[in-house]
Amino acid sequence: MSAVRVHKADVRNPVELEMARLRELNADLERRLSARASEIDFANHELEVFAEGITHDLRAPLRAIEGFSKALREKQGPYLDADAKHYLERIDANAMFMGRLIEALLKFSHVTRADLNLEQVDPTALARAALGRLRQRAVESGVEVDICQLPACRADPILLQQAFASLLDNGIKFTRGRPHGRVTIGSHIDGGVAVYDVCDNGAGFDMRYADKLFGVFQRLHPQAEFEGVGVGLALVQRIVHRHGGRIWAEGEPGKGASFHFTLGSQT
């Protein structure tokens, strides 16, 4: 039997073959991820456009409900019995609540679609400006608010102030009427990263349901006990995520809650 000669050039190193296979798999994975990311971006954009459009469309019938309710009360008020008047009150209350839902959805849609304008900011000043809009409510609720000196960062000043306002509003709401009610905005450093903290000594929450805190329209307390539409914390999470940061919460029923967030663009 004659010998078969194999040229060295025809033999590929097994390691080289495996590396080539891995490179092909990696390239294929990158293509798949890129395509999937594009699909998600398109779906999110379509959802945001739909949300903004539907909220605008809902305003017209809502105004009609409010208008007819008002007309009925003005023209037929003296002839309505107690039950009829109660029904009108419920119509008005629910129409008002729906109006707040629409406004909250519009605000959420705006935060989702607005351009992110990063610049060097002073979070302490932004938190104080947010408190300025809520100070009267804090006073009426008997809640003291403390704002500590916060580390500077790069952020969108409008969106970061919005985040502080939503967290403050949340803290005041759930601390209202409690003895020595207090909301504190502070910070700490964890692994070289600035973490911003908003803590209160209010109603708190059960950590078993912590994953529901940041969902749109998710509520852990009855509407009759604490007002709200369940969008504020979802709005904060969206703002934080748009900055490349993360947000989490800790709480205990009756012992208050703490919200912590980071921002991706640090000094």
Shared domain for 165 and 145, answered yes or no, is yes
Mean of all residue pLDDT scores within the chain: 80
Shared domain for 84 and 136, answered yes or no, is no
Residue 5 located in a structural domain:
yes
| CATH at residue 98 | 1.10.287
State how many domains the chain has.
Answer: 2
Shared domain for 130 and 97, answered yes or no, is no
Shared domain for 180 and 219, answered yes or no, is yes
Domain end call among 84, 113, 142:
113
Q: What is the pLDDT of residues 150-188, one digit of tens each?
A: 999 999 998 999 899 989 998 998 888 788 889 999 999
The pLDDT of residue 30: 80
Least confident of 11-20, 224-233, 258-267: 224-233
Domain end call among 63, 80, 113:
113
Shared domain for 102 and 125, answered yes or no, is no
Shared domain for 86 and 66, answered yes or no, is yes
| CATH at residue 254 | 3.30.565.10
Shared domain for 138 and 98, answered yes or no, is no
Q: What is the pLDDT of residues 106-153, one digit of tens each?
A: 776 667 667 788 999 999 999 999 999 888 888 888 899 999 999 999
Domain end call among 113, 135, 153:
113
pTM: 0.66
The residue-averaged pLDDT of 222-236 equals 63
Residue 66 located in a structural domain:
yes
Residue 267 located in a structural domain:
no
Percent of the chain whose pLDDT exceeds 70? 78
Shared domain for 194 and 239, answered yes or no, is yes
- Say which residues have a Cβ less than 8 Å from residue 21's Cβ, sequence separation at least 6: none
Shared domain for 93 and 150, answered yes or no, is no
Angle between helices 232-242 and 157-175 (to 10 degrees): 150
**Domain span at residue 10?**
1-113
The pLDDT of residue 44: 57
Shared domain for 138 and 40, answered yes or no, is no
